[in-house]
Amino acid sequence: MSNLILASGSPRRKELLQQIQLSFSIEVSHADETFPQELQPDEVVMELSKRKAVSVAAAHPGAFVIGSDTVVVHNGEILGKPEDSSHAKDMLRKLSGSTHSVYTGVAIVKDEQEKMFYKKTDVTFWELTEEEIDTYAASGEPLDKAGGYGIQGLGAFLVKEIRGDYFSVVGLPISQVYRSLKEMGYHP
């Protein structure tokens, strides 16, 4: 087992860590992902990230464990992953022609050490036609992604503008993760 563990089954997070050539293993966290409705989006993503990292770190003393969570917020409503294609279409209609915020939280845990942070990135969608929404939903891509879209895949055609960290929208603010690991004493 590597001394760096990603507590996520997300292929996007895996690809981002591989992109910066870190050696790591994956152990999917089965932490509870429900949260109190009164929490703000930044609190939600940091709390869920911490739960994921802590649940995996408990079984791996001495390892650096990265937990992460992403939510999309539109007009104060937190949009998680769609339940099905119809739900994905509803989300895309909401996001069409407007700006929403993507919050990605990260928790890095090693024994008693922990570092938590989040990134907020604003994403503006083009005004989408019903045909575009149907085509995208039919691709299957929206089903495992917060807000019902993936900026790094086919969903790129939905995005008019982004203000903030692109990698955070993909699912992991990789530059800050790298620097945080180094601050905590991790040596790749």
Domains present along the chain, CATH in parentheses: 4-183 (3.90.950.10)
Helix (H) or strand (E) holding 115: strand 113-125
Residue 108 main-chain phi, psi, to 5 deg = -115, 125
Distance CA 162, CA 164 (A): 6
Q: Is 69 tagged catalytic?
A: yes
Distance CA 5, CA 100 (A): 31
Catalytic residue among 32, 42, 69, 165: 69
Predicted confidence (pLDDT) per residue in 85-135, tens digit: 999 999 999 999 999 999 999 999 999 999 999 999 999 999 999 999 999
Is the pLDDT at 39 greater than 60? The verdict is yes
Q: Residue 2: what pLDDT?
A: 61
Question: Which distant-in-sequence residues (6+ apart) come within 8 Å of 157 by Cβ?
Answer: 132, 136
Q: Which pTM value belongs to this model? A: 0.93
Is the pLDDT at 37 greater than 60? The verdict is yes
The pLDDT > 70 percentage for the chain reads 99
Which among 188, 31, 176, 34 has a CA at the least distance from the CA of 108?
176
Which among 177, 161, 178 has a CA at the least distance from the CA of 121?
161
Which of helix, strand or coil describes residue 156? helix
Predicted confidence (pLDDT) per residue in 96-106, tens digit: 999 999 999 99
Paired strand residues for 66: 6, 108
Question: Which distant-in-sequence residues (6+ apart) come within 8 Å of 10 by Cβ?
Answer: 68, 171
Residue 175 main-chain phi, psi, to 5 deg = -65, -45
100 or 144: which carries more pLDDT confidence?
100
Q: How far is CA 163 from CA 22, 69, 80, 123, in A?
A: 27, 19, 21, 6
